[in-house]
Structure 1
């Protein structure tokens, strides 16, 4: 089986002298099978090994959800509790813990709010920053429970709920209740962007002209992200999730369960932050799990993980579209100006660059807008993220898939 994984990894990572990945195949009661290719650090030419620590991004969410479930089993909270019962500053009394766990809260996504405010994702982003953004929200994307919309904000809040209820930061609670009992000795939530983590890989992407660039990751927040771990430690967790009590806890029907997707593919989650990519897939009935951890944004971890466990290649996902509101009609000459959003505490500018209307945000270059309808424009930002703007006489509505109809009022 190791030869099969070696071939798969060689096909996924073309350059053994660049960033790469490690793949693990887990069968409870059997030795972990792994293959790896590429470098954890390009500057010092450090190879990726089974002991390399990776930031696993949203694969972290299942541990946050498990911590909440453990407190529920302890009788210290209920999944139907209002979030405000544990976080009194929280502004939406109808949102429950279950809404946060299942991404049905309607809250605006924290990363999309960061980008709406014109900040770079490479900037230091703290839990306190997220709290300020949530506390300032005036409206929701939709009514709680109406629909599913993936939302990182909810899992940052769940991490704060764990701390409020247990009296321990999320990293300490998970260390005591999960990582230490399972001997996951190289695993921790990293909630301090200045923390030194031994054997951690750096994060890279390919430059358009060739070669690589390093992508800084400066998160000082945990819950939605920021778990650091190894393929061996995640293998222990994967085996644990295939035990009957854990299956009963996690596999609660199709959809989004306890920090994981549950569907015909299996029980899984993907992760992507900076240049880190990860995929965690468990096929409980088959008794097998696949793990892929990468430090190169170009590694297709989902496809590699599916191939490792022997399931068909996943179908392409349709691009998300944002549902947007309407604004009063406005004459084109009135477009340029400065607009302010109190929810994001941010300014944006519409500027005319040589006859092209552009969106300009603090720290980010002005980007041309594409007209797609009356007073409606689109602009691609941050890779595959698309912003839709609807312009009115005294305001604009700014929408992404995770932050709909943010109102920016014209101030100049």
Structure 2
């Protein structure tokens, strides 16, 4: 045969590969996802494509444990979580092209109910996460709203409108904020005269043939072929983990890995928005002082093994997602999962490793080799980042160091005196600990600097003085601090009591929240200030 078909060539290649004992890329991916390919456990859908041509579409695990339905990569729908943000950014940029708004517009022009903080917050501040606005998800949680409650965009807007301060001055810093993209969706609706869901359907999803993609803004809507989400509930069982929140903009896009490949193709041959939209979405933001960011408009901009990578992860309820592309190789990967204990970002990069083997300028990171430390305990202690409201601990146990935070515990592998690998699979840059500071690299975000603080040591009498009732107008909630069995407990609305650790002087922490006491000149406690990373500085006034 003088001109064998492409299928014949592919089959011949597979036969030769098997004869040589080499695993094909499809087989390598199957091995990678094998732990999740169980009929009685949730898992993932994965798709890879190159230059617009599919390389792989495969489902692993169950879309529904109740009905025994397997994940189908072509048709199983997942909630994308924050991977949705790129579609909100695209909607805004389409309205800019329509001449209906500008990126430097003050958002209060469209949403006058928001507080005036004395300096304009622009649409571009929202797109680049530099607005300083407190994260509405944290505000709702602290106000007693659970994922299972019905919560609307109006509820979120009301929570944002109650805030009397910002995390920082607009444009002066970067802090990932769901509030920014919630407000962008509200601006889309204000300007277009319809819902965010309708705009995205007409201007993005339908033109690209994304027939299984929609924005879910009503929790009662039936989404055909949607995977249910679950969390581990013991060593071999799962419990449902779904949400009834109806906010859009920061999340709520429902899609498949097959449809995401169609969206990715728009970045090479743009049907929606043209080259201008592609350029604007992938343009890195800057702070007021010119510092560049690793975030464009709805997209994270980073590097991986020497190549630029454009991506965005997502996580909401029990869903987790990753969509990435390596523009130089025209290679894209999507991984969507319906359980929260998996790492689709890491899995997507492993899939990219398989399909671009030999094409990366930089070899895969070698496993970090630990070096002995003369005195590991010298690095242990409590570290505090006041601007970002984050508390971290470094603990020395059995000759090892552990980095801990809310829901997180990672071993710090020493690679030199004062230099530690925290997560060698995600970043090649080590954490650095000096006598007074801890600097931690974060993929896709600026490094976080923590200052070492002296551990708290309040007496029972001093703890008793903290006990009382505290009210926050910004959260519309009352918190009770109670002394029980010599320990301070905080009762959070609807979430029960939590034991509080005296983290450092006049500061207590529990489950991601840090509260710092406020005192008058006589030293009497008058209130507290609450910090939760993406929402900081909320005032609580002592009522009793």
TM-score computed with the length of structure 1 as normaliser = 0.93
Question: Is this contact kept in 1: 2:127–2:180, CA < 8 A?
Answer: yes
1:258 to 297, 308, 314: 297
Among 259, 267, 289, which residue is 1:241 paired with? 267
> Equivalent residue for 2:528?
396
Partner of 2:90: 66
Equivalent residue of 2:314, what SS? strand
Match of 2:427 in 1: 315
2:68, 2:192 → 1: CA distance?
A: 42
Structure 1 unaligned segments of length 5 or more: list them: 324-328, 381-385
Match of 1:88 in 2: 112
CA deviation vs aligned residue, 1:45-86 (integer Å, no higher than 9, x gap): 111002001001000000000000010111110000000111
- Higher RCO (Cα < 8 Å, 6 or more apart): 1
Aligned residue for 1:19? Answer: 42
1:91-102 matched pairs, under 5 angstroms: 91-92=115-116, 94-102=120-128
Name 2:403's counterpart in structure 1.
none
Mapping of residues 264-303 of structure 1, within 5 Å? 264-265=303-304, 266-303=309-346
**How many Å separate the matches in 2 of 1:48 and 1:210?**
19
For 1:1-400, list aligned pairs within 5 A.
Answer: 1-11=25-35, 13=36, 15-50=38-73, 51-92=75-116, 94-243=120-269, 245=275, 246-253=277-284, 255-265=294-304, 266-310=309-353, 312=364, 313-315=425-427, 331-380=462-511, 386-392=512-518, 393-400=525-532
What is the SS of the residue equivalent to 1:285? helix
- Structure 1 residue 318, shift from structure 2 partner: 5.5
Q: What root-mean-square deviation, in Å, do the aligned CA atoms of Structure 1 and Structure 2 show? A: 2.0
Secondary structure of the 2:332 match is strand
The offset of 1:3, in angstroms, is 2.0
CA contact (8 A) 2:165 2:537 kept: no
Range with greater deviation from structure 2 (292-301 or 250-259)? 250-259
Distance 1:271 1:170 in 2: 19
Counterparts of 1:187 and 1:255, CA distance in 2: 27
Number of residue pairs matched?
A: 401
User: Normalising by the residue count of structure 2, what TM-score does the alignment of the two structures yield?
Assistant: 0.71
**1:92-112 CA-partner distances (Å, limit 9, x unpaired):** 361000000000000000111
| 1:14–1:200 Cα change, 3 Å | closer
Specify the SS of the correspondent of 2:154: helix
Which residues of structure 2 form unaligned runs of 5+? 1-24, 285-292, 354-359, 365-424, 429-439, 443-447, 452-457, 519-524
How big is the shift at 1:15? 3.8
Instruction: Give, in whole Å, the separation in 2 of the partners of 1:242 and 1:360.
Output: 52
Deviates more, 1:226-235 or 1:112-121: 112-121
Q: Is the 8 A contact 1:356 1:368 kept in 2?
A: yes
Q: Deviations over 1:116-167 (max 9, x none)?
A: 2133233222101111011111100100001000000010000000011111
Q: Is the 8 A contact 2:219 2:246 kept in 1?
A: yes
- What is the alpha-carbon distance in structure 2 between the residues aligned to residue 44 and residue 28 of structure 1? 37
Report the Cα offset of residue 403 of structure 1: 0.9
